[in-house]
């Protein structure tokens, strides 16, 4: 459940009208409708006030631990309407493999065209994809269940191991290919192909220095 879903749920449970919240925040009555339609994410910067109004913590609104100051900063610095924020989930392995965690780590700025409920960031751990992808990089992922040959994808193996690899499907097997020559290709033949779940396609890389 997303942050806005949690806010709406709490309003319903407390029998509070949306206009009471927008009046408390000092925003127009149409603001909540714009939030629900996805036209703006400005509710992010009001999370502390919304939490106070509803009598809950910011963490409970998010459904997880988040860095409120990092959410606030994207609006404080004056990003325009073409920019929003997306959740950063961690971590997905790009090395020997770790358990993929459904943990909300942070929020990161993204172009408004990606603010569609279908994109998110994953933080990479490992070195199997160097020199193209480094440990700590953020990968923008579009959630989808299919890929074309040559696509860079995020995958879950056996329901728990998360990895980033180049995708290749031959008709009889799936190959998940590392960029680092010291890591062998992961091959899944026949029934073993069912072990591979496609999480989505990597569409952008963000690196911080």
CA pair distance 159, 100, nearest whole angstrom: 9
60 is catalytic: no
SS3 101: coil
Bridge partners (DSSP) of residue 166 are 152, 177
Lowest mean pLDDT among 1-10, 18-27, 56-65, 146-155: 56-65
42 is catalytic: no
- Distances in Å between the Cα of 123 and the Cα atoms of 16, 19, 74, 78 are 37, 37, 19, 25
Over residues 30-49, the pLDDT tens digits come to: 888 888 877 777 777 788 78
Give the active site residue among 45, 123, 125, 165.
165
Q: Which phi and psi (to 5°) does residue 64 adopt?
A: -165, 175
Supply the pTM of this predicted model. 0.70
Lowest mean pLDDT among 23-27, 44-48, 80-84, 190-194: 80-84
* Average pLDDT score over residue span 161-190: 95
Q: Are 103 and 64 in contact (CB under 8 A)?
A: yes
Give the active site residue among 45, 128, 186, 201.
128
Residue 137 per-residue DSSP state: -
Q: What are the structure tokens assigned to 111, written together?
A: 């172009």
SS3 7: helix
The enclosing H or E element of 153 equals strand 152-157
Nearest to 8 by CA among 45, 57, 61: 61
Bridge partners (DSSP) of residue 51 are none
């Amino acid at each position: 459940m997303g942050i806005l879903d949690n806010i709406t749920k709490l309003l319903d449970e407390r029998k509070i009208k949306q206009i009471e919240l927008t009046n408390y925040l000092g925003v127009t009555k149409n603001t909540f409708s714009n939030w629900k339609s996805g036209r703006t994410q400005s509710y992010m910067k009001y999370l502390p006030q919304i939490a106070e109004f509803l009598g809950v913590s910011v963490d409970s609104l998010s459904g997880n631990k988040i860095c409120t100051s990092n959410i606030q900063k994207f609006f404080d610095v004056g990003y325009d309407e073409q920019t929003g924020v997306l959740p950063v989930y961690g971590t997905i392995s790009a090395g020997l493999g770790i358990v993929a965690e459904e943990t909300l780590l942070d929020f990161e700025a993204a172009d408004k065209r990606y603010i569609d409920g279908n994109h998110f960031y994953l933080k990479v751990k490992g070195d199997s994809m160097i020199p193209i992808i480094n440990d700590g990089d953020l990968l923008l992922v579009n959630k989808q269940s299919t890929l074309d040959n040559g696509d860079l994808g995020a995958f879950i193996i056996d329901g728990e191991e998360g990895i980033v690899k180049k995708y290749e499907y031959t008709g009889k097997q799936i190959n998940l290919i590392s960029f680092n020559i010291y890591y062998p290709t992961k091959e899944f033949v026949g029934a073993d192909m069912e072990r591979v779940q496609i999480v989505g396609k990597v569409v952008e890389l963000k690196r911080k220095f």
